[in-house]
Amino acid sequence: MVREAGKFILLVVLLCSGLLVKAQDNIIDQIIWVVGDEAILKSDVEKARAMILSRGERIDGDPYCLIPEQLAVQKLFLDQAKIDSIDVPAAEVSRGVTRQENMVISNLGSKEKAEEYLQAPMSQLREEWREEIRNNYLVSEVKKNLVGKKSKLTPSEVRRYYAQLPQDSLPYIPTTVEVQIITNEPVVPLEEIDKVKERLRDFTNRINAGESFATLAIMYSEDGSAQNGGELGFSGRANWVTEFSNMAFSLNDPKKVSNIVETEYGFHIMQLIERRGDLINVRHILLKPKVPDVEFNKVIAKMDSITQDIKQGKFTFEDATVLSFDKNTRKNNGLMVNRRESSNYGTPRFLKEELPPAVAIAVEKLKVGEVSSPFRMKGDDGKEVVAIVKLKSRIEGHIANVSDDYQALKEIVEEKKHEEILRKWLQNKIKDTYVLIDENWRNCDFQYSGWIKEEGLKK
């Protein structure tokens, strides 16, 4: 208790002085909030602000009010994470760091520009992001635990919410469609495969002769990881397709380049970077064989023949789905399922913008029950395929009603209930937590009440 009291006294002294001083009149940082036994520095706010902007996100409001409060709220959740003894999967953090790095580099143009804008080398930024992503995971898990079973809704609660809403406040449900699809892939000529393998063997020889694997990946790899030198970040065996994973986990010498491995995405070579228990970090180069237009034309003619037979009633679209190359829809009469993060996730309903662009264009011209002409599109694995689609249903945009939009309304009510639970928990947590804010940072319209405590530490 004496040690904790001493810690609080020290923080209060620092806060009241407002400065951490390297030498007289040489300000290096400033404590602006104290939450429990944790300090929030002005530099923390500046870093968070720069990070938000580097991701291309907007800050709606005064960042010097919004960000400190967000950091304070995070500290309250992190304190609860310690109490709940929540663990963070290392693979989850590593994947998050890789996504974050790719996003920042993409938004700012290059690794060098990112380092210049964020005023830190990439190695330091990765460690900061690792901590940020770890904290975000902990906060998310705490929130899940807090809402948990308390937020289970009954159909009567959803109907009661709907009945209480004024007509002009009812949500608008945009037009959604249900789509069935059949795809076919052109044959890749053996000479094209041989060309790709020969290029990869040449890369291997150049790397063995001293060239940088990462540089060659940046220059030639056809994977999104190219801008990061082909590095994929720490992952477990189950995070990659089987062929790639088997080759990656067979590597044990960082100086050697793997044999060529074929996956559904194309052909790869890879190099071990580091192992950490059951996790591994590798870099790779992906090349995809080029398919001549003549091969696509053959498939288009074949798919056009299938379309004509369906229109003439020789067999149904559903019958033809057994011929589809799309493994995700083939056993479900070709019905596409929405995997985008939205209220339609896991259902066959799609907003226009949730469909693959080529499918959205094809569906736009169809009436319910009609089948499109063949068209080319990118599959989930990045390969170009030929497809035909059938518009199974279209529900025009409308004001929400319980019978047609129960799931959407249920999610709205759940979100409101979650917000109420978390707000109540946070208000109680703020009330019972020592909080002190520098007087120059108090003039804010905070989202939560009770931050400014006139009586000091609550007993």
d(CA 235, CA 219): 24
3-state SS assignment for residue 177: strand
Sign of the C-alpha dihedral computed for residues 207, 210, 211 and 217 taken in this order: positive
Q: Hey, what are 24's tokens? A: 């007289």
CATH fold for domain 190-287 = Chitinase A; domain 3 (3.10.50)
Model pLDDT, residue 332: 93
d(CA 329, CA 59): 41
State the first-to-last Cα distance of the chain, in angstroms, to the nearest integer: 13
Q: Hey, what are 199's tokens? A: 């290029």
Task: Say which amino acid occupies 221.
Answer: S
d(CA 420, CA 397): 29
d(CA 73, CA 79): 10
Model pLDDT, residue 1: 39
Q: Hey, what are 254's tokens? A: 């960082």
Q: Tell me which residue of 60, 55, 129 sits closest to 93, measured CA to CA.
A: 129
Q: What are phi and psi of 174, to 5 degrees?
A: -65, 165
Q: Does the domain made of 173-187+292-399 have the CATH classification 3.10.50.40?
A: yes
384 pairs with which residues across the strands? Answer: 378
CATH 1.10.4030.10 in the chain, residue ranges: 2-150+416-441
d(CA 108, CA 53): 10
CATH fold for domain 2-150+416-441 = Triger factor/SurA peptide-binding fold (1.10.4030)
Characterise 131 by phi-psi region: left (phi > 0), alpha (psi -120 to 50), beta (else): alpha
Model pLDDT, residue 458: 39
Model pLDDT, residue 197: 96
pLDDT in tens, the chain (459 residues): 333 444 444 444 444 444 443 333 344 589 999 998 899 999 999 988 988 887 778 888 899 999 999 999 999 999 999 998 988 887 778 778 877 887 888 778 888 888 888 888 888 888 888 888 898 899 999 998 898 766 677 788 888 888 888 877 788 889 999 999 999 999 899 999 999 999 999 999 999 999 999 999 999 999 888 888 999 888 888 889 999 999 999 999 999 999 999 998 999 999 999 988 888 999 999 999 999 999 999 999 999 999 999 999 999 999 999 999 998 899 999 999 998 877 788 889 999 999 999 999 999 989 999 999 999 998 877 788 999 999 999 999 998 888 878 878 888 888 888 888 999 999 999 999 999 999 999 999 999 999 987 544 333
- The strand order across the sheet containing 279-287 reads 261-263, 266-276, 279-287
d(CA 117, CA 415): 36
Which residues of 308-412 form beta strands (DSSP E)? 375-378, 384-395, 398-399
- Within 10 angstroms of residue 115's Cβ, the number of other Cβ atoms is 18
Q: Is 454 exposed, middle or buried (0-12, 13-18, 19+ CB in 10 A)?
A: exposed
Q: Tell me which residue of 379, 403, 352, 325 sits closest to 155, measured CA to CA.
A: 403
CATH 3.10.50.40 in the chain, residue ranges: 173-187+292-399, 190-287
Question: Among all chains, which residue has been given the structure tokens 């040449």?
Answer: 202
270 pairs with which residues across the strands? Answer: 284
d(CA 218, CA 369): 46
CB within 8 Å of 148: residues ≥ 6 apart: none
Model pLDDT, residue 164: 83
User: Among the residues of 389-432, which ranges form H helices?
Assistant: 402-431
Q: Tell me which residue of 272, 108, 261, 109 sits closest to 196, measured CA to CA.
A: 261
